[in-house]
Amino acid sequence: MTTASQTASVPTVRQTAVMPVRTLSLGERLTSIGKYALLVLLSFTWLFPLYWMVVTAVKNDSQVLTVPPILFPSPILLNNFADAWARYNFNLAAFNSVFRFALPVVVLTLVSSLIVAYGFAKVRWRGRGFFFALCIATMMLPWQVTMVPLFVIFRNLGWIDTYLPLVVPAIFGHPYFIFMLRQFFLTIPEELSEAARMEGASEFGILWRIILPLAKPAIAVVVLFRFLWSWNDFLGPLIYLKDEAQYPLALMIYRLQQTVNSTGNTAMAYPHLMAVSTLVALPVIIAFIIAQRTFIEGISVTGLKG
């Protein structure tokens, strides 16, 4: 940002916006330093809880309780991660989280949302505007309103304590992703699908061969966010899963915390709690670092939250 008195003629002003030619004044330099200082301070504040999670995970009990708090623990107990993981059946929980919950939900959501979005974007039919508006409107519907009846329905189906109530609804698509994919499909030129139609391609053929290859960035957003939401989901499993053998990771951490709270400060309670939290948060952070662009695009386009 260029500030203060600029006596130069208009063209040079335009240039300074792109490449600063003149040297910065003292005031500008101070502002710049101030901005960096503020950003660094903010970054430390924002990261500190996560840092604290990781360092506590490698401490022992006496290091946890020391006053003043130890910022750089020594020794670093890397064994804590394996010990904490073994304290409850976290292997099973990880299996549940990935293979019984997140993956099926991602696949079903993707397939159904792609089909529905195609119907909203690429097929011309009467009433699609109305139905699309209805689809958008359901995004605003608070889940609490349907929570009790859905619970009753799934209970009558005998689905309590299974992943079915969490997975089966994905067959019907997800309004967020239908919306996002539809917006994306609209940017694909109509001529492409029209040409394929002339050559006798079916609508599914067009979706599969023409639209899909072009929609990879949007598909990446769906896969990433849907996986993340399932991985992070706490409430759904809390409502539907009672038996510990069914728990996904989020519930298993909660289970560990409940034990710690009810039995008081048992040995290694905090390091272990932080160790499993770290291990469950880590894949998310790594995924973000690898697929940063997809994440940022996903949020910027649709305002999706994490």
Residue numbers 61-80 binding other proteins by CB under 8 A: 64-69
Question: Applying CB under 8 A, which of residues 60, 162, 232, 259 lies at the interface with other proteins?
Answer: 232
DSSP 169: G
Radius of gyration of the CA atoms of the chain, in A: 26
Residues 60 and 268 sit within 8 Å (Cβ to Cβ): yes
What is each CA distance from 287 to 134, 274, 292, in whole angstroms? 33, 20, 8
Cα dihedral across residues 49, 255, 281, 110: positive or negative: negative
Q: SS3 of 42, please?
A: helix
Question: Applying CB under 8 A, which of residues 12, 22, 25, 38 lies at the interface with other proteins?
Answer: 38
Selected range binding other proteins among 73-81, 87-95, 98-106, 294-302, rule: CB under 8 A: 294-302
134: tokens are: 């209805």
Build a one-symbol-per-residue string for 243-272: x at contacts with other proteins by CB under 8 A, - elsewhere: ------xx--xx--x-------x----x--
Contact between 23 and other proteins (CB under 8 A)? Answer: no
Selected range binding other proteins among 78-86, 98-106, 183-191, 214-222, rule: CB under 8 A: 183-191
Q: For residues 206 and 192, what is the distance between their CA atoms, to the nearest angstrom?
A: 9
Q: For residues 120 and 131, what is the distance between their CA atoms, to the nearest angstrom?
A: 9
- Give CA 254 to chain center in angstroms: 20
Question: Applying CB under 8 A, which of residues 103, 107, 115, 164 lies at the interface with other proteins?
Answer: 115
Contact between 119 and other proteins (CB under 8 A)? Answer: yes
Question: Applying CB under 8 A, which of residues 30, 33, 39, 212 lies at the interface with other proteins?
Answer: 39
Footprint (CB under 8 A) of other proteins, residues 194-213? 203
Nearest approach in angstroms of CB 300 to other proteins is 4
Question: Applying CB under 8 A, which of residues 26, 49, 199, 267 lies at the interface with other proteins?
Answer: 49
Please identify, using beta-carbon distances, which residue of 56 and 246 lies nearer to other proteins. Answer: 56
Contact between 102 and other proteins (CB under 8 A)? Answer: no
Residues 53 and 277 sit within 8 Å (Cβ to Cβ): yes
Q: Which amino acid is at 139?
A: M
Q: For residues 131 and 240, what is the distance between their CA atoms, to the nearest angstrom?
A: 30
- CA within 13 Å, CB half, 171: 5
Contact between 126 and other proteins (CB under 8 A)? Answer: yes
Selected range binding other proteins among 75-83, 88-96, 147-155, 212-220, rule: CB under 8 A: 147-155
Please identify, using beta-carbon distances, which residue of 103 and 284 lies nearer to other proteins. Answer: 284
Please identify, using beta-carbon distances, which residue of 47 and 76 lies nearer to other proteins. Answer: 47
